[in-house]
Amino acid sequence: MDVVIADRLQFAFTIMFHYLFPITTIGLAPFVALYTIQAARGDADAARAAAFWTRIFAINFAVGVVTGIPMEFQFGTNWAAFSAASGSVIGQPLAMEGVYAFFLESVFLGVLLAGKDRVPSWLYSTSAVAVWFGSWLSGFFIVATDAWMQHPVGYTIVGNRIELTSLPAVLLSPFAWWQYLHVVCGAMVAGSFVVAGVGAYYLLSKRETVIAQRFVKVGVIVALIFAVLVVFPTGDKNGDEVTKYQPIKLAAMEGLFNSTKDAPLAIIGMPDTHTDDLIDPIYVPDLLSFLAYGNFRAGVKGLSAYATELWPPVDLTYYAYHVMVGLGTIFMGIATLAALFLWRKRLFDTPLVLWLLMLVMPFPYIASEAGWVTSEVGRQPWIIYGLMRTASGVSPTVASGEAVFTLIGFAGMYFLLGFLFLYLTLREIGHGPV
Amino acid sequence: MSVVAFIVIAFMLTAYVLLDGYDLGVAAVTPLVARTDREREGSMRSIGPFWNGNEVWLIAAGGALFALFPQAYASAFSGFYLPLIVVLWLLMFRGIAIELRSHFPSEIWHQFWDACFFASSVLLILLFGVALGNLLRGVPLGPQGYFSGTFDELLNPYALLVGIFAVVALAMHGAVFLVLRIDGPAVQRVRRLVTRLWPAVVVLYVAVTAATLAERGIGFSWIDVIPVLTLVALGALLFFSINGRERGAFIASSLFLASLLLQAAVTMYPYLIPSLPPRKGGISIFDASPSPVALASALTVVIVGLVVVIIYSVLVARQMAGKIVVED
């Protein structure tokens, strides 16, 4: 196997598996904090809810931590040339993640799990908020690192090294902020659908009714808010940044092969890179021009305007993007429907909507992963957009055989981990908030 | 400024060894001192709220090395690809063992994870020790600064000796910590174990020191007073343990380890990855650091962040200290 492919497969596999857990950490942490604070005010049901979600959170966090460790080190092991060239820039947000966010999460989660009888109640509630803050901060530094690889800023080139000139430029880049807010909103959709979905499961099983109604109510309201925010403004603005700095990625995302004025938006259709066209498309006329440039007559450049060697893998970018957008639309629909029933006070005895809430739980995870595939596969062939090719970033001393060996090892270990995680989480949900 | 960066990295790694060292050490001594399922649970719970935060010192040190010395980070991590990935797998296994043991009330389940906990921790200490041994001895480097040797060269007798020393020293450190955290009949066994491990640590310390002098040649400077500190800390450890002053013993053990790491850092300086044969160059802190602007920025954020971390870690550790209670 080609060493670049082997390294990419290992990174893609380990990061995609790892990312399932931060989604829950980011999306669930506010709920843990909410119930912990309500419990501190003497609300007995909230105390049970807090203990329940903290247990789920802890299993998730543990798997997130163990699968996160390899991420911090793989830049050096598999991508040494990239790390040596750009470490002075991307090492900084990564170091900040460890020092500012990861310590905060880990130290205070220790309190949350083992300190209920040891620490004063104010410190206990503060710990829940600190874990929330830490998980959101952690996400920011990681997204800022990625955003720099998407749209490098605040650097200068000295010889064969990329040297940082301004850390604030890296951390305050609009590209990073819109991407981060989009990512957090996506995780919040996942977290709130988990809370609502678990509540719906209890209601359908006719158990824990009082607590379950609280889960469904708060879950649906938060899901509706973030299902909207994930599209507008964060998704929209994120798209604007891509349009501005990565027009080839935009063309691949939309399956637009030929440059055109009044470009249509493909709702479905299958890109064919042999004929450079979409198979069986359904178009909305002019909409892509409007979404990209705010004008129905604006010209949008297609893939054919660029040399093929600068194209990202078109099919994967296109499908991942359409899966994300399609699911995002469905989430908005389900959240709106559930919110209407909630408003009419009929949600808790409408099994059909409760079923929907329960079944939708895995899909925000798929949408989030698809979003990242769009972003990262769409960045190819660059590891740092416009500056360094992915193929030039690999470790010169690591052979493809080594990378394949460790990839197989990770696959085995993560299979075991995934199995244990699902088993233990479903077991906790089965036990319920007791 | 590169010197400050070197001190920061050395400090973070020392903090890692002192803190996660007791987690690993507790795992290493558990089969020797805990005889019942409940005692083994107590042993694992003694580090429960801390191990994760402790491990972050290693991860944060990795991140800081990336930011402060990108060249060394890239060359070391890709050069030692396989051993490093094995370390990652072992770290993962240990984490899984600690997190999963308590989730299922079955003796078989507990025994399996206890065994994983022990094996992964001891192997981790051994590998960390072997890695440190190789860094002290120097490693073969190619012209680009990438490791040019083979895997079995890393398992040379000197590095293995350092590895074994690390296992015994951290086992003692873990035992001293365990005394602070558990109750019941196991405590007496842990106390006895400390006094039995002590002579082994002294013998290995002398052996490693002699071997190091043999590897690197003898040269004295004012910095050679560090062994005095090491020996005083070792003496204090034994004195405090025998007299039941448990906090004192833990502090002495921490000082002992810190003095060893200080010695190692001074021996290596100014190289991050010394070349083999020794004193023939290598990747120094001056070749590996980025531009002054980048370095100043990274140092500022890391140092400010660490000060905050230390403040709240100490605060939390004080609140969470004391003996744990294992209920039926």
Closest CA to A265 of A296, A243, A240, A241: A296
Residue of higher predicted confidence among A352 and A295: A352
Q: Where residue A227 falls among pLDDT bands split at 50, 70, 90? A: very high
pLDDT attached to residue B280: 63
> How close does chain A come to B104, measured CA to CA in Å?
9
What does the CA dihedral A329, A334, A337, A340 come to, rounded to 10 degrees?
-100
- At residue A106, does pLDDT exceed 90? no
Do the beta carbons of residue B9 and residue B64 sit within 8 Å? yes
d(CA B138, CA B117): 31
Instruction: State which residue of chain A sits closest to B299, comparing Cα positions.
Output: A92
> In this structure, what DSSP letter does residue A101 have?
I
Which residues, listed in sequence order, are joined to residue A268 by a DSSP beta bridge? A282
- In three-state secondary structure terms, B139 is strand
Of B49, B302, B322, the CB nearest to A95: B302
pLDDT attached to residue B122: 94
Mean pLDDT of chain A: 91
Q: Where residue A132 falls among pLDDT bands split at 50, 70, 90? A: very high
d(CA A200, CA A216): 6
- At residue A162, does pLDDT exceed 50? yes
Task: Indicate yes or no: CB of B146 within 8 angstroms of CB of A80.
Answer: yes
- Average pLDDT over every residue of A289-316: 88
pLDDT attached to residue B221: 61
> How close does chain B come to A30, measured CA to CA in Å?
21
Disruptive mutation site among A14, A77, A167 for chain B (greatest number of B CBs within 10 Å): A77
For chain B, which residues make up each domain, given as ranges?
A: 2-170+269-320
Task: Indicate yes or no: CB of A396 within 8 angstroms of CB of B78.
Answer: yes
Q: What is the DSSP string of A280-305?
A: EEEEETTHHHHHHHS-TT--B--GGG
Q: Which two tokens stand for residue A384?
A: 């740092």
Share of chain A above pLDDT 90, in %: 63
- At residue A171, does pLDDT exceed 80? yes
Q: Where residue A149 falls among pLDDT bands split at 50, 70, 90? A: very high
d(CA A24, CA A365): 9
Instruction: State which residue of chain A sits closest to B47, comparing Cα positions.
Output: A110
CB neighbours of residue B105 within 10 Å: 8
Task: Look at phi and psi of residue A106 and say left if phi exceeds 0, alpha if psi is from -120 to 50, else beta.
Answer: alpha
Residue A150: exposure state from Cβ atoms within 10 A (0-12, 13-18, ≥19): buried
Task: Indicate yes or no: CB of B49 within 8 angstroms of CB of A114.
Answer: yes
For chain A, say whether B82 makes contact (Cβ under 8 Å): yes
Task: Indicate yes or no: CB of B78 within 8 angstroms of CB of A167.
Answer: no
Low-confidence ranges of chain B (pLDDT < 50): 328
> How close does chain B come to A114, measured CA to CA in Å?
6
Distance from CA of residue A143 to its chain's centroid?
9
- In three-state secondary structure terms, A433 is coil
Residue of higher predicted confidence among A168 and B149: A168
Task: Look at phi and psi of residue B282 and say left if phi exceeds 0, alpha if psi is from -120 to 50, else beta.
Answer: left
Q: What is the DSSP string of B48-117?
A: TTTHHHHHHHHHHHHHHHHHH-HHHHHHHHHHTHHHHHHHHHHHHHHHHHHHHHTTS--HHHHHHHHHHH
Do the beta carbons of residue A279 and residue A302 sit within 8 Å? no
Task: Among A97-111, A201-215, A362-376, name the one with the lowest average pLDDT.
Answer: A97-111
Task: Indicate yes or no: CB of B103 within 8 angstroms of CB of A424.
Answer: yes
Q: What are phi and psi of A418, to 5 degrees?
A: -60, -40
Q: Where residue A25 falls among pLDDT bands split at 50, 70, 90? A: very high
Q: Alpha helix locations (H) across chain B?
A: 2-33, 37-47, 51-68, 70-79, 81-101, 107-137, 157-181, 185-216, 226-242, 246-268, 285-288, 292-320
pLDDT attached to residue B328: 47
For chain A, say whether B282 makes contact (Cβ under 8 Å): no
Which residues of chain B have a CB within 8 Å of the CB of A395? Answer: 74, 78, 81
